[in-house]
Structure 1
């Protein structure tokens, strides 16, 4: 499942210009990763309470793909159980790598489906998700 290209571009641009859930969370250690190939950097803070992602924030610098992916990730996963968050992360990873089509559960993350055709951009889209995995303690 893919979104129309114009809609996808609009979602990506909106999240790059006005990222959601930004900045550190008090009392939560952040995980910072970078992509030296293109200069992207992201820090992810995940506050997990009672098996649920209570808050998920990020900060970073880099291309529109990495920053919008991080913003969309925070919006999509905040409030999800850890099981749901890991499942959605797996679906997103499969979509970006071109191993599977996106599912409706991904919501606006479907805007990044086209990244699967851009091998150099896959790392950009997945960077915040790799930091998330570490922040959550792995899959």
Structure 2
């Protein structure tokens, strides 16, 4: 894909998810595992909730405030992690974090990341990496802290 098309796709997806975030919940579900993370550099705050049943992330939702990237990526993340097994979620989280750091990931993993795969371009802007990875780190911490 040409750089102009990739740039257009990036802008389009980020703006779409930021304006109408998927799985945004004013009130996070009771009984869910929750984690709040802050990015003091940008002022982002993300609150993530995950409901896990039978080894599967049944519900993944978020709320918070911050820059366009942090909110858009949280929306993309909820789309890709909802319904996944804990093991699949862990693999996708690591793949996304690697992608944002400029590391190569397999084409299959890129497809599994859906819209979030476009965020690989954030590696070119180190100051924005934390914005893009904040919500993914929150789910990663939920999975680690709850022995999932």
Q: Structure 1 length normalisation: TM-score?
A: 0.93
Unaligned runs of 5+ in 1: none
- Alignment RMSD: 1.9
Please state how far the C-alpha of 1:137 moved relative to its aligned partner.
2.2
User: Which of structures 1 and 2 has the larger relative contact order (alpha carbons within 8 angstroms, sep 6+)?
Assistant: 1
Give the corresponding residue for 1:123.
130
Give the corresponding residue for 1:85.
89
State whether structure 2 residue 56 is matched by structure 1 residue 52.
yes
CA contact (8 A) 1:97 1:122 kept: yes
Distance in 1 between the 2:65 and 2:85 partners? 28
Give the corresponding residue for 1:6.
8
Residues 1-139 of structure 1 mapped to structure 2, 5 A cutoff = 4-23=6-25, 24-101=28-105, 103-137=110-144
Please state how far the C-alpha of 1:69 moved relative to its aligned partner.
0.8
Report Cα offsets for 1:40-95 as digits up to 9, x if no partner: 00000000000000000000111111111100000011000011111011110000
Please state how far the C-alpha of 1:26 moved relative to its aligned partner.
2.3
Greater CA drift, 86-95 or 23-32: 23-32
